[in-house]
Structure formats: C-alpha cells, structure tokens
Amino acid sequence: MKRIARGTDQSPSDEPTFRTVARSDPEMAAAHRLAAATIQHFAAHIARSGDCVCAAKLRFRDPDLSEELGEDEFVFLWLTSVTSDPKEQLFSGLFFELPPQLTKWHQVGERLAFGAEDIFDWMVVEHGTLHGGFTLRVTRQRLPEAERAEYDRHVGATSWHPLPE
C-alpha cells in the first residue's frame, strides 16, 4: 500500500464505528475468503462508475500496540470512494474515519493505493442496494433484530443483494 495524496471530497463521519472481532473468528475468516474470491465483482462495479459508493476494507498494523505487546496487532478499516487502475493493477480509496492509534500515520481524506490482495472485504452501495459487504453481513446477522434497521442506515443499505457465487 502506498499513500497517494490528501483529498477533500469526503468529510469525516460524525460517529465512527469500530468493532472488536476475535482474531480466530471463523465466520469473519470465511467472509474474508469469499470477498477475496469475488474481487472481480468489485472491480466490475468500479469499472461501471455509475451512481454508487465503492468501499474496501483493509488491514493495518497498529505499530504502537504491536511493539507494546511484542506481536503484530491489526486494525481493519473501510476506505471509501474506491477507484481502480487496471493498467497498474491498483485500487485506491480515501480514509473517512480513523481510530486514534492510526492518526500518527494516516489522515482523514488521505488517498491510499493498494492491491487486490490487500482487500479484506469490499462493498458497493448502488441505489440503496448493498453488494458484497461480507463482513458487514456477519456483523449484521449477530445484531438483535431491533438494531438491524439502524445498522442498515449506518452502512447506507436499504436492501442487501444476494451474495455473488
């Protein structure tokens, strides 16, 4: 991954949402495998460049906590406004929210380039319909039914497209 430039077309979220997930969570591992296996669907959505929001979830090493604990610790973050450069085989996206432990290295509005292999999950919201979002689906399924509508609003989904095969 490499830093590209600071952008201004995305403002920070008023209420960042960060969730802790166990490193050995089998459902999240399965969601990651499915996202990786369907990355071509994500690239196809981006290439159409219609009225949609494209986002990718990436894994970032938390340098301070990793040093403190003596083992690698990671944070997973969504970058939005994702574009792709098929010629360079790179994607890029904007940070729209950051946990405090990463603000020494990244800034909200910064654009970052990354390869397909760096994508932990992907999602596209097109006219309210969410495509992909494999880890989001796991999280949503674990919520009490009464909290799901608010979660849907948070991610911008009015419906969830069937998973790609």
What tens-digit pLDDT sequence spans the chain (165 residues)? 544 443 333 333 444 454 555 667 899 999 999 999 999 999 999 998 678 999 999 999 988 888 899 999 888 999 999 999 988 889 999 999 998 888 989 999 999 999 999 999 999 999 999 999 999 999 999 999 999 999 999 999 999 999 876
* Torsion 8-42-85-89 (CA) sign: positive
Distance CA 107, CA 119 (A): 19
Residues 42 and 54 sit within 8 Å (Cβ to Cβ): yes
Whole-prediction pTM: 0.83
In three-state form (DSSP H/G/I as H, E/B as E, the rest C), the secondary structure along 26-80 is HHHHHHHHHHHHCHHHHHHHHHHCCCEEEEEEEEEECHHHHHHHCCCCEEEEEEE
Could you give the residue ranges of the DSSP H alpha helices within 87-144? 134-142
Query: How far from chain centre, in Å, is Cα 14?
Result: 18
Query: Which residues make Cβ contacts (< 8 Å) with residue 36, sequence separation at least 6?
Result: 117, 119
Residues 79 and 13 sit within 8 Å (Cβ to Cβ): no
